[in-house]
Every structure is written in C-alpha cells, then in structure tokens.
Amino acid sequence: MLLNAGAELTGYDVSTVGCLAAHGLEGEFTVIDGSVLDLEGVQKALKQCRVEVCIHLAGQSMIEGATANPLLAFEVNIRGTWNVLEACRRTDSIISVACASSNHTYGPQESSPFREEFPLNQLDIYGASKACADILARSYAHEFDLPAVAVRNTNSYGGGDPHTSHLVTGSVLALLNDERPIIRSDGSPIKAYLHAEDTMAAYMLLAEHAGREEVKGRAFNVAPDEPISVHDLVKTIIRVSGKEHLQPVVQGTDLSQKDFFEHLSNEKIKRVLGWEPQFGLEEGLQKTFAWYEKHGLGWIDQVHV
C-alpha cells in the first residue's frame, strides 16, 4: 500500500525474506537486516535513509509466545520500542512516528465499547508489554514533542498471514483442505476482526497526521463497528467458502478466554480523521479466502523461512 502510494520505502527487520516473497514484493524495496534491540543500528538506518515517517510494527506479536518467553517479549516490545522512539528523536528528518500498540492492552472493563481513555487493565505478559510500549510512545510525544501516536488495532486478518494458527487463517486453510475448522475454545469469546488493508490504511492515515495536536501523543483504536463471537466468525468463514458441509469442530480444550468480551470504540478515529473500514466482515473474508485459494500452500514455506 505504501509503494502504491508512491512512498520511497525502506524496511528494517531481523528477517529480510518471507512475507515479502509471499506477496510478490521481494526486491521491490530495500530491507535492512537489523534488530530493534540495536539502538545504534536503528538510528543509523533512519539517518542514512533520511526517513521522514516511521511505522513501528516490530515486536513479539503472539500471546502464547510472550508467555513462553517473557524476558524476550519485554525486551522486544518495551526496549525495542524505546530504542525506535529514541532513534527517531535523534533523527532530524523524522516528521511522524506511528507505534503499534494493541487491542489486548484493555483487558476486562466495566462498560463497552472501550474508549481510548479507559484503563489498560490487561496483565498477561503480552498485554503488559504492549501497554508499556503504548505509554512510551505517548511519553516521548509529551516529553520531547516527538510526533508519535499509539495505534491500538484489533485482530487483523488477510492473505499471507504467517501466523497460520490464527483463527481466520487456520479455518480458511482447513476448508481449502476439505477439513472441518477447529475451534479450540468453546466458541464463546467475542472479539472484533478487521481486514489487514483497513488496518494498514488506518496506520497510514495516523502516520500522515501524527504531527497534528489532536493526534500527537494520543492513542487511537482501530476496529470495526461491531465484534463477533468465535463461533459465528467461523460459521461466516464456512459460508463464504461455500463448504457448509464442513461444520466446525468445537474442542473446548482452551477455555482461558471463556465468555471473553472485547469491543473497541472506533468513534475517535472516525471523528478526528474520517477513517472508515472499507470491508465489511463478510466481504473481507471473501477477499481473504480468494487469496488463499489462488496462492495454494506454497506461500507457507516462504513466510516461515
């Protein structure tokens, strides 16, 4: 999307292969091999490339992975974020920084939908690490006038997802293999799901306007209008696939989120920046299913290189 918008793009990642190849973008722009844990490396990359807009997406993004290795999650999500922010602060060309926070930071709330001023109550390792990253982004804006914004996006889905265990991706792959999708929970958790193109459009919009007083140093939810239960989501995926004979298997082996409820308000980003999702859930799932149907299974080996 950035390339299509005419951006002069540079990536910075611990891996220079994988998802780009899966999306046909390998070699389309420079990717520097480096870690956000290397402050000098981040700063060197920003300065050498005269970066103006930094979209910080690096992190430990799996809840289970964070629990299994909490020190690494804290290192990457917290120290990695302050390294990026500090490097941006030292780089004269920077005019905007958009930092990935998470819907998961909210945790249990007394009312809904969850607005940006609600407390960040989630205390598992992943949620705590992302809450710290969220506060760091807003702190650098407050303390140093850095044009930074924290982006609390909800669950994203779409083609080429390297996390094949994610509910949407796993269900689509099962259906393409003529297998019944598996629901590891009891189907009761209620969350929101947003097509990745809508998520990224919000990041680009927030990055574009991060210097505005009503955006700088603030957090913004990025979510569709309504959440959906896991059971109803999988049923919708089955419907768009046209394979309604393959009904889900509800295992109920993971009840850690039984009766979980999460509903983020998107009123603020709509009001301040005019953002609206371009894909309804069914349309987004149709687009996603078509991507996997077209690309087969070869892309999996690419993203896991």
Residues with catalytic annotation?
A: 126
Triad 99, 97, 302: Cα angle to 5°:
60
Helix (H, G, I), strand (E, B) or coil at 279: coil
The token duo for 292 is 């996997």
Planar angle of CA 91, 197, 271, nearest 5 degrees: 75
> What is the spatial distance between Cα 98 and Cα 96, in angstroms, rounded to a whole number?
7
List Cβ neighbours of 46 (8 Å cut-off, separation of 6 or more).
54, 87, 88, 91, 93, 94
CA distance 183 to 251: 6
| Rounded CA separation 293/173 (Å) | 9
- Token couple for 108: 């249990």
Q: State how far the Cα of 183 lies from the Cα of 236, in Å rounded to an integer.
A: 13
Rounded distance, CA 97 to CA 109, Å? 29
